[in-house]
Amino acid sequence: MRCPPLALVAAVAVTSCGPSTPPPASATAPTASDAPAPSEPPPAATAHGPAPVPTGGSVLIGEINAPKTFNPRPTVEALSGSLVDCYNKARAADPDLRGKVTLQINVNEAGAVLSVDAAPGGHANSPSLVMCISDMMKTSARFPKPGGTAIVNTPLVFRP
């Protein structure tokens, strides 16, 4: 077997390894397809879910109409923080929600809330607000025993 001359082997080795000078700078710059993909934004930044729940807000409890022997005011006042929470949740869907709503609270003989409805009228008569208050009162409100059933008319004024 005949060996190729050493010069030929060296020439093949040099050409197969490429030129000894670096390519121009423009040839080494990464292209858009070579660049790493930008990191994904956090899920909260891209989600189109519900609006954040506003904070703040206040409730003014008006003159409560109830049977003379039954005083529901201390219980309603104790729930004022929960009333504002419901108001803020409703404002997430309706930022302009404010004003008066009169609740008709039906209390049984044991002091438990049977139902909460809104009287017609009022600027804050929002179904989502009334539903939240109804659910909250049915689970949290413990009125004194009214001596039978009682319907309590409670005017509330909500402000942002």
Token pair for residue 39? 């990191």
The answer to whether 104 and 134 are in contact (CB under 8 A) is: no
The CA distance from 63 to 153, in Å, is 9
User: Does a structural domain hold residue 12?
Assistant: no
| Structure-model confidence comparison of residues 38 and 130, the more confident one | 130
From 123, 157, 151, select the one nearest 67 (Cα to Cα).
151
Q: What is the tally of structural domains in the chain?
A: 1
Q: How many helices (H) and strands (E) does the chain have?
A: 6, 4
Q: Look at residue 48 in the predicted model and tell me its pLDDT.
A: 59
Q: Look at residue 12 in the predicted model and tell me its pLDDT.
A: 42
**Which tens digit of pLDDT belongs to each residue from 1-46?**
555 554 444 444 444 444 455 545 544 444 444 444 444 433 333 3
Which residue carries 């039978």 as its tokens? 148
User: Does a structural domain hold residue 85?
Assistant: yes
Work out whether the CA dihedral 46, 47, 51, 52 comes out positive or negative. negative
User: Does a structural domain hold residue 74?
Assistant: yes
In order, the DSSP letters of 126-155 are -HHHHHHHHHHHHHH--PPP-SS-EEEEEE
The CA distance from 156 to 105, in Å, is 12
The answer to whether 82 and 134 are in contact (CB under 8 A) is: no
Residue 128 sits in a domain whose CATH number is 3.30.2420
Range of the domain at 63: 58-159
User: Does a structural domain hold residue 66?
Assistant: yes
User: Does a structural domain hold residue 95?
Assistant: yes
